[in-house]
Amino acid sequence: MILAKPAAIRMSLMIGLWFLLLTPTVAQSIDKEAAPPLYSEPHRPQVHFSPKESWMNDPNGMVYYNGTYHLFYQYYPDSTVWGPMHWGHATSTNLVQWTHRPIALYPDSLGYIFSGSAVVDKQNTSGFGQNGQAPLVAIFTHHDPAGEKAGRNDYQVQSLAYSLDSGRTWTKYAGNPVLKNPGLKDFRDPKVMWYEAGRKWIMAVATYSQILFYSSPDLKNWTKESEFGKDLGAHGGVWECPDLLSFELNGKKEWVLLVNLNPGGPNGGSATQYFVGDFDGKTFTASHSDTRWLDYGPDEYAGVTWSNTGDRKIFLGWMSNWLYGQVVPTARWRSAMTVPRDLSLKQVGNEVYVASQPSKELDVIVSKPLVYENLQVQNRLDLKTKVKEVVAPCRIEMSLDNLASYSLVLSNDAGEELVVGFDKDSNQFYIDRSRAGDTSFHQAFATRSVAPRIATASSMTMTLVIDVSSVELFADGGLSVMTGIFFPSTPYTNQRLQATGNVVIKKLSISRLKSIWKK
Ligand code: FRU
């Protein structure tokens, strides 16, 4: 908070009143006495980040600094549905186990604090640094709800905040906004990177159907460089939360632009698409015209990467969907993040794709695996009879020497089941949650979602990260990825493999994952 204290209190009272009048949120009261202990509630993810309580959406401002990963996130502390946005904050030294920190950014007279990014300004280009200390600078959207209500088209602008104590506390820049609205209703989610070749900052900002690129020498003065995407990719909804990344592949620099889209995802609602191409300091040019998705499942959105991680590109998404995110059946909090994922480029034929794999840091919570080789599955194999009972959270890895239709079915004694697998005829992976538990809260939830197989090899691999209420599927080294959430009435305690005919699983490895929360 940058305002002096009395002014700050006056301001938050005014804003509070204004929110009460303008925001149609339904505050849900939680009986804290009767509630189960924190992080032991039904459906509470055990190996994924979720806030202690209240509403969370996009990951924001992810930056690595001095051995600490910072995760900020869209947060509304007063309810379990979306409302006036703050930046919640958590830190981790291993990307897996998180410590909650005080809220980093509060709404102010310019509006709510929408999504954005953070950078380490190593050369103090912004001048925010003091005594030789490099500042961390957050670049975010100020969203003015009054302007929105009045039907204006300039209510989203880009602003700065900086930290001089390694990300612990943040001061908003007195000269906000640093980038005014050019007359676009949707103008938000700035993602900033240092472009070394041009020694300047590059900002990607999402507008309704395009990404705009701006450049700056100092994070404060921005010049428009180019527009991208009007006639490319998926346009079933609004473009949001971009991210521009560079990789080395076979000695050549390749660029990737992530563009989140809501709605219009491949399985309905929100999803993350990407473009592979070139960036010359001004313009991004895609090298393909087909639409590609970083995660085909229904429940990965607003995903972007950490800054200041060198050659590593570590991605995190919101593990939900705007279609039903605000009505999922959790009481104290709503929604979680995906596991952190390392992005890389993989060539398939003449094309270059982005692959995602769970980050290796997950190993800190992985137990010694139970490993089975050459497992014959004739139609059905109950794992309980084969292996000790392994319940979520767990990681399951499977490899096959050939392509075959097979699935893993998790079920409980209430007859609810989640099916995750591959269908050889359609060449698709799938997550079928149509009978996985409670689907009553939204008519679009009881789905069987599919993802195409991108790889062309004749052997296949599948890694599943299964939590109490989510599954993330990484096939063929992360070329086909899907995330889905589900809400069984009791935990799944039975697991079986299913196959069409006789299928040999060359290797099956099952590991328990230890909860990341101290309870
Ligand atoms: C994406 C998004 C962003 C926006 C934020 C608001 O989920 O709509 O475009 O900044 O959420 O909470």
Q: 163 CB contacts (<8 Å, ≥6 apart)?
A: 135, 136, 138, 169, 170, 171
pLDDT at 385: 64
Over residues 93-99, mean pLDDT: 98
How does pLDDT run across 460-495, given as a tens digit for each residue?
Answer: 999 999 999 999 999 999 999 999 999 999 999 999
Distances (CA, A) of 333 to 23, 37, 50, 61, 303: 19, 13, 8, 21, 20
Q: Is 58 in the pocket of ligand 1 (CB under 6 A)?
A: yes
pLDDT at 14: 35
From its phi and psi, is residue 340 left (phi > 0), alpha (psi between -120 and 50) or beta? beta
Closest residue to atom 9 of ligand 1, CA basis: 240
Q: How far is the CA of 114 from the centre of ligand 1 (A)?
A: 6
Edge-to-edge strand list for the sheet holding 86-92:
99-105, 86-92, 68-76, 54-65, 333-334
Q: Is 225 in the pocket of ligand 1 (CB under 6 A)?
A: no
Helix (H, G, I), strand (E, B) or coil at 204: strand
pLDDT at 422: 98
At 332, the pLDDT band (50, 70, 90 cuts) reads very high
**Confidence check: pLDDT of 371 > 50:** yes
Q: How far is 435 from 432, CA to CA, in rounded Å?
A: 8
Residue count (the chain): 519
Q: Is 361 in the pocket of ligand 1 (CB under 6 A)?
A: no
Q: What is the pTM of this model?
A: 0.93
| Ligand 1 pocket mutation, candidates 25, 57, 79, criterion most atoms within 8 A of CB | 57
CB distance 355 to 343 below 8 Å:
yes
Is residue 280 annotated as a catalytic residue, yes or no? Answer: no
**Confidence check: pLDDT of 336 > 70:** yes
pLDDT at 26: 37
- Token pair for residue 431? 């997550």
At 33, the pLDDT band (50, 70, 90 cuts) reads low
Q: Is 261 in the pocket of ligand 1 (CB under 6 A)?
A: no
Pairing of strands 333-334, 54-65: parallel
Of ligand 1's listed atoms, the one at least distance from the Cα of 322 is 7
Q: Is 302 in the pocket of ligand 1 (CB under 6 A)?
A: yes
What single DSSP character describes residue 469? T
CB distance 198 to 213 below 8 Å:
no
Of ligand 1's listed atoms, the one at least distance from the Cα of 116 is 10
Alpha-helical regions (H) of 66-203: 145-149
Q: How far is 59 from 492, CA to CA, in rounded Å?
A: 29
Q: How far is the CA of 304 from the centre of ligand 1 (A)?
A: 12
Q: Is 189 in the pocket of ligand 1 (CB under 6 A)?
A: yes
CB distance 246 to 282 below 8 Å:
no
- Token pair for residue 71? 């995760």
Mean pLDDT, the chain, rounded, equals: 93
Helix (H, G, I), strand (E, B) or coil at 495: strand
At 297, the pLDDT band (50, 70, 90 cuts) reads very high
Over residues 48-53, mean pLDDT: 98
Q: Point out the catalytic residue in the list 58, 144, 186, 295.
A: 58
User: What percent of the chain is predicted at pLDDT more than 70?
Assistant: 93
**Confidence check: pLDDT of 10 > 50:** no
